[in-house]
Structure 1
Amino acid sequence: MPGAKYNVGIIGYGLSAKTFHIPFINAVEDFHLYAIVQRTPKPNDDASKDHPNIKLYHSTDDLLKDGNVHVVVVTTAPNSHLELAKAAMLAKKHVVVEKPFTPTSAEAQELVDVAKAQGVLITVYQNRRWDSDFLTLKKYVEDGTLGRIVEFETHFDRHRPEPQVDTWKAHNIPGNGAVYDLGTHLMDQVIHLFGMPQRVTGFVGSQRESNPTGLEDSCTVLLHYPQMLATVKAGVVSPEVKQLRYWVRGVNGSFKKFHLDPQEDQLRKQGLKPGDKGYGLEPEEAYGTLNLSKDGKFVSEVAPTVKPATYVEYYRRLAAALNGDASQIPVPPEQAVGLIRLVELARESSKLGKTLDV
């Protein structure tokens, strides 16, 4: 239906829906926030009060029966993704699934197969493909500034040694844990740039002293390519003033970057939204550093962060894909299946204590 608005129904009304989806759906004119499924609204947490023009449903079944819903966004816990996404596609809805796609690659492939059979689109919300620092690094990789890359190190470390608060993310359920949560963000960026690796070595476990649920809170995953090693790290014991984000080395130079992309903090803590002044812009003190060879010597220079496309770009591309340009799908579902396979291999590698072929 090119040129028409797509009515969006969101399943779940937690942090993901409020912070990472609704602001960007509202920022793209092709979409209309039409309905939200919230089972038990509370006086201080009621989707219909926050968004008085939407339809509020208390069950997914009621949402899927609504023929005016064109796109369903699944923002619930990962162990529910298969059931909800499949039901939505069987109801002839296009689907966006919050990452991680599913707990297993077999489930992920099942969803891809259902999408093809139903003639609908399915994709996964890997918004950090549009982190401004990642786009900066991507430019240096693709334009040859760094030369052939031999080591690619990507971090999402934090210093949070105390046990998590009582949310579903604190429980050992299928699809939960560090390698599914932050690990999938980091590995997705790697395979977006370089494709699937040949081998995987995983170290997955807990850095916290108190870990009553057995939840895996930290991971280091080595992705082996023919002439490159990518190291993915997400830890909860990292007492640093500045947290390392990237350290990438090539034959012509290196790129090092501290600090995270600012969008999450701006959305959650500062109340900024897409279109607000300063949204997505990194301060100069957060810029990365390039080390490049000039006149036979290596010199350091500031690497300004590129103008951010912001996470709005995810939904812009989704609209283009729905309007008929398949090349614009923000995350091809086949890549999402491969990513979950890497998660499985990383966990199995950690358990067996050996490197595994992909």
Structure 2
Amino acid sequence: MTHPIKTAIASFGMSGQVFHGPLLKVNSGFEVVSVFERSKNISEKLFPEARIVRTYDELLNDSAIELIIVNTPDVFHFEMAKQAILHGKHVVVEKPLAQKSDEGAELIRLAKEKGLVFTVFQNRRWDNDFRTVKKVIEEAKFGRLIEFESHFDRYRTYIAPDTWKEEGDEYSGVLYNLGSHMIDQVYVLFGMPKAVTAHLRIVRKNGVVTDYYDIRLEYEGFAALVKCSYLVKDPGPRYTIHGEYGTFYKSGLDPQEEMLKEGHLPNEENWGTEEPEEWGTLLYEEDGEDVEELVETVSGDYNIFYNNVYDAIRNGAKLLVKPEETVDVLKILETCLISNKEKRTIIL
């Protein structure tokens, strides 16, 4: 990668400090030349050579910048990504792509008209547990798929102060935050569902945004269940997959986010790996005998995302996260809102 992409980061809060900043720092295909921080200078520690700007317009009007990372709060994604595209910039936008699917479709149209690369940071496609789940489903030792269940539970009894994630309308809360990841994973595995049933709740005292969901996605011959709650003291398996002849369990969370929060950079040896005690368990019948085996976890690697972005911009490679896919995910999330409001199953 001898021709690095001159890149700007549109904010340097949690996602900038934990995800985009470190991933770009270790990738020789990118040169972070500007960071938008309204009042602080946090980014200078990671990018001492980058220019810190105080307005978004400074990024838009800098002709040297080729790529803008729109990693601001969800409500700003559509307008900021749109302005970047109209100014001729390639764009990576945080999930969710926008708050509404028609907004996402408009961004795709504009990017195509301008001949620009436009994609969405769906990094959890490269979680180690999800990569392992994909492998297990492809091998199908448990036979015909009957039920897929995914959990992303937390235990947080308090309402975090001074954060946009704890306030707002129906597009705020865990459905569009964690749900946009979990629904995306199901979509990657199985495509669009035939029907959606969603139950959304506020389970914490004094909460104002959704902090619980129980979503059932119906497919031909099987169902995918997606669940999240902020009041789970002792979580069970992260994934449970039942087939006609067996079951797969996988507990624990991919370690990459926690390692990034601790200040590790994603170029360290054994990045995204797990010890054998964290591996999943596969139980199935084979030739009339019960078999139990540990399934080695496939290493997680968020670096794959930005390697692909580089190849798409410099070499015309196909995007691994196609924005059209994330618009489909938004349509599923919108259907969840309707299902919960009308207390019924929605046929797609």
Equivalent AA in structure 2 for residue 125 of structure 1: F
User: Separation in 2 of the partners of 1:341 and 1:207?
Assistant: 25
| Aligned residues of 1:79 and 1:174 also touching (Cα < 8 A) | no
Q: Which residue of 1 aligns with 2:125?
A: 129
Q: Which residue of 2 aligns with 1:274?
A: 266
Aligned CA distance change for structure 1 residues 143 and 195 (closer, same or farther; 3 Å): same
**How big is each residue's C-alpha offset from its partner over 1:329-349, in whole Å with a ceiling of 9 and x where there is no partner?**
131000010101111100110
User: Separation in 1 of the partners of 2:169 and 2:9?
Assistant: 22
Q: Which residue of 1 aligns with 2:91?
A: 95
Gaps of 5+ in 1: none
Q: Which residue of 2 aligns with 1:231?
A: 225
Equivalence map 1:18-167=2 (5 Å):
18-41=17-40, 45-167=41-163
For 2:257, which of 235, 259, 264 is the aligned residue? Answer: 264
**How big is each residue's C-alpha offset from its partner over 1:286-313, in whole Å with a ceiling of 9 and x where there is no partner?**
11111121331333221110233x1001
User: Separation in 1 of the partners of 2:3 and 2:143?
Assistant: 44
Secondary structure class of the residue paired with 2:44: helix
Q: Which residue of 2 aligns with 1:340?
A: 330
Equivalent AA in structure 1 for residue 75 of structure 2: N
Secondary structure class of the residue paired with 2:315: coil
Secondary structure class of the residue paired with 1:154: strand
Number of equivalent positions: 348
For 1:350, which of 327, 340, 345 is the aligned residue? Answer: 340
Q: Which residue of 2 aligns with 1:319?
A: 310
For 2:289, which of 287, 297, 303 is the aligned residue? Answer: 297
**How big is each residue's C-alpha offset from its partner over 1:214-246, in whole Å with a ceiling of 9 and x where there is no partner?**
211111111111111000111111121x54200
Equivalence map 1:168-187=2 (5 Å):
168-173=164-169, 175-187=171-183
Secondary structure class of the residue paired with 2:273: coil
Q: Which residue of 2 aligns with 1:203?
A: 199
TM-score (norm 2): 0.96
Q: Which residue of 2 aligns with 1:17?
A: 16
Secondary structure class of the residue paired with 1:319: helix
| Aligned residues of 1:272 and 1:279 also touching (Cα < 8 A) | no
Aligned CA distance change for structure 1 residues 143 and 202 (closer, same or farther; 3 Å): same
Equivalent AA in structure 1 for residue 89 of structure 2: K
**How big is each residue's C-alpha offset from its partner over 1:14-58, in whole Å with a ceiling of 9 and x where there is no partner?**
0101111111112222111111011111xxx53235421001111
| Aligned residues of 1:202 and 1:221 also touching (Cα < 8 A) | yes
Aligned CA distance change for structure 1 residues 306 and 206 (closer, same or farther; 3 Å): same
**How big is each residue's C-alpha offset from its partner over 1:134-168, in whole Å with a ceiling of 9 and x where there is no partner?**
11110111233333322110110111122223211
User: Separation in 2 of the partners of 1:301 and 1:39?
Assistant: 52
**How big is each residue's C-alpha offset from its partner over 1:189-231, in whole Å with a ceiling of 9 and x where there is no partner?**
01011111111111112111222xx211111111111111000
- Aligned residues: percent identity? 36
Aligned CA distance change for structure 1 residues 110 and 40 (closer, same or farther; 3 Å): same
Aligned CA distance change for structure 1 residues 46 and 271 (closer, same or farther; 3 Å): closer
Q: Which residue of 1 aligns with 2:238?
A: 245
User: Separation in 1 of the partners of 2:164 and 2:313?
Assistant: 32
Runs of 4+ off more than 6 Å: none
Equivalent AA in structure 1 for residue 304 of structure 2: E
Q: Which residue of 1 aligns with 2:209?
A: 215
| Aligned residues of 2:105 and 2:327 also touching (Cα < 8 A) | yes
Secondary structure class of the residue paired with 2:181: helix
Q: Which residue of 1 aligns with 2:6?
A: 7
| Aligned residues of 1:161 and 1:237 also touching (Cα < 8 A) | yes
For 1:190, which of 172, 186, 192 is the aligned residue? Answer: 186
User: Separation in 2 of the partners of 1:346 and 1:332?
Assistant: 22
Equivalent AA in structure 2 for residue 340 of structure 1: L
Secondary structure class of the residue paired with 1:112: helix
How far has the Cα of 1:267 moved from its partner? 1.1
User: Separation in 1 of the partners of 2:2 and 2:22?
Assistant: 21
User: Separation in 2 of the partners of 1:180 and 1:307?
Assistant: 26
| Aligned residues of 1:81 and 1:102 also touching (Cα < 8 A) | yes
| Aligned residues of 2:142 and 2:285 also touching (Cα < 8 A) | no
